[in-house]
Amino acid sequence: MNIYDIAKQAGVSIATVSRVLNGSPNVRPKTKQKVLDIMEKADYTPNIFARGLGLNSIKMIGVLCTDVADIYYAKAVSILENALKQNGFDALLCCTGNELNDKKKYLDLLLAKRVDAIILIGSPFKEKLDNSHIQQVAQKVPVIIINGFLPFDNTYCITCDELDAMYQNVSSLLEKSHKEILYLYDVDTYSGIQKIDGYKQAFNDHTLLADPRLIVKVPKDIAAITTQVTKLLQDFPSISAVVTSEDILAIGALKAITALGYLVPEDIPIIGFNNSLLCECTSPTLTSVDNGVDILCTNAVSLLVDVFTGKSVANKTTISSKLIERESFKL
């Protein structure tokens, strides 16, 4: 069933059918209705490929992240997908994993599928050299980066001020006389670097020295973290607070701390990051930074729509984060 069949049945030309299809005003209402009726009866769906061939667009956005199984990316993807759909776009999902080559490969796959734009959740490319690849992609379609930053043409970044969030957290701890603050992080992405910088700046601005041995990279695995933090607490008994780049890391720390008989937050307060569902699961519940992933994502989509409609769009937008106080730390 194609446009010719519909045209024939309706006794009009395919041009008219096409006009009806595309909501052109230049169709007599009666004609339009007749065509619509026939389409309805025939359960006709226009062929997206033919349409794509002509328009060179299929209203589809590539969404790329390392792994949707991750609770944070999952939330982002969920919000993106909904916002995209509301604007008439579908989401083509790519989970790249952490291999740089895979990331490049998936980017090419997305391009080959002729997506109208690409949204990167997190800036997956950290090394300087590799970013040229993103730059190339941006020459073909707009690239939106959520929680990452690259100063390229046709690349639009929307980030949360995580540096400041971490700065505030560490500052308040320092001001409460916590001088030995363990910092746990997992990745060296743009976002990861922001947070670590916030941690360091807080120390600097309080004319204190951050002990580099207390800035520890850990795997994203509760058991492994627990083991590692237990050892750290034994080696550095003066640690009196823990901040993290991810809720899950805070949970690993929490387990180690309580297992050693310390109380949270009385003995050692803990602050997570991302304000995920996990914060509600622990006991005590986890105070955590809400980096506004929902705002980030909805903004990303409206920003994209602006790009498509030719409005001028800032290369970088930043929103602020908010500390959600629960039991593991109070301001």
Residues near DNA (CB under 7 A)? 2-4, 11-16, 18-19, 21-22, 25-28, 30-32, 46-47, 50-51, 53-55
The reply to whether 235 sits near its own copies by the rule CB under 8 A is no
Shorter beta-carbon distance to DNA: residue 50 or 314: 50
DSSP 212: G
Question: What CA–CA distance (Å, rounded) separates 253 from 246?
Answer: 11
**Stretch 304-323 residues interacting with its own copies (CB under 8 A):** none
Residues 253 and 288: beta-carbon distance below 8 Å: no
Among 25, 26, 49, 309, binds its own copies (CB under 8 A): 49
Structure tokens at 262: 């310390």
The reply to whether 260 sits near its own copies by the rule CB under 8 A is no
**Which of the choices DNA, its own copies, none does residue 28 contact, using the CB cut-off of 5 to 8 A by kind?**
DNA
Structure tokens at 99: 């291999």
Shorter beta-carbon distance to its own copies: residue 45 or 207: 45
Question: What CA–CA distance (Å, rounded) separates 22 from 217?
Answer: 54
**Which of the choices its own copies, DNA, none does residue 78 contact, using the CB cut-off of 5 to 8 A by kind?**
its own copies
DSSP 118: E
**Which of the choices DNA, its own copies, none does residue 86 contact, using the CB cut-off of 5 to 8 A by kind?**
none
**The one segment of 76-84, 163-171, 230-238, 302-310 that binds its own copies by CB under 8 A:** 76-84
Among 147, 159, 189, 282, binds its own copies (CB under 8 A): 282
Residues 302 and 320: beta-carbon distance below 8 Å: no
- Across the strands, what pairs with 185? 217
The reply to whether 77 sits near its own copies by the rule CB under 8 A is yes
**Which of the choices DNA, its own copies, none does residue 251 contact, using the CB cut-off of 5 to 8 A by kind?**
its own copies
- Across the strands, what pairs with 120? 64, 145
**Which of the choices its own copies, DNA, none does residue 9 contact, using the CB cut-off of 5 to 8 A by kind?**
none
Instruction: Tell me the closest approach of the beta carbon of residue 73 to its own copies, in angstroms.
Output: 8
Instruction: Tell me the closest approach of the beta carbon of residue 11 to its own copies, in angstroms.
Output: 26
Closest to 44 (Cα-Cα) out of 17, 71, 69:
17
Instruction: Tell me the closest approach of the beta carbon of residue 47 to its own copies, in angstroms.
Output: 7
Residue type, 150: L
Q: Where are the alpha helices (DSSP H) in the chain?
A: 3-10, 14-21, 29-42, 48-55, 71-86, 100-112, 131-138, 162-175, 190-205, 222-235, 247-259, 278-281, 293-308
Residue type, 23: G
Q: How far apart are the first and last CA of the chain?
A: 66
For 242, phi then psi, to 5°, come to: -135, 130
Residues 238-257: x where in contact with its own copies by CB under 8 A, - otherwise, as a string: ----------x--x---x--
Residues 291 and 162: beta-carbon distance below 8 Å: yes
Among 14, 34, 36, 46, binds its own copies (CB under 8 A): 46
Binding site for its own copies (CB under 8 A): 45-50, 52-53, 56, 58, 60, 63, 67-71, 73-75, 77-79, 81-82, 85, 90-95, 106, 108-109, 111-114, 222-223, 248, 251, 255, 258, 277-278, 280-283
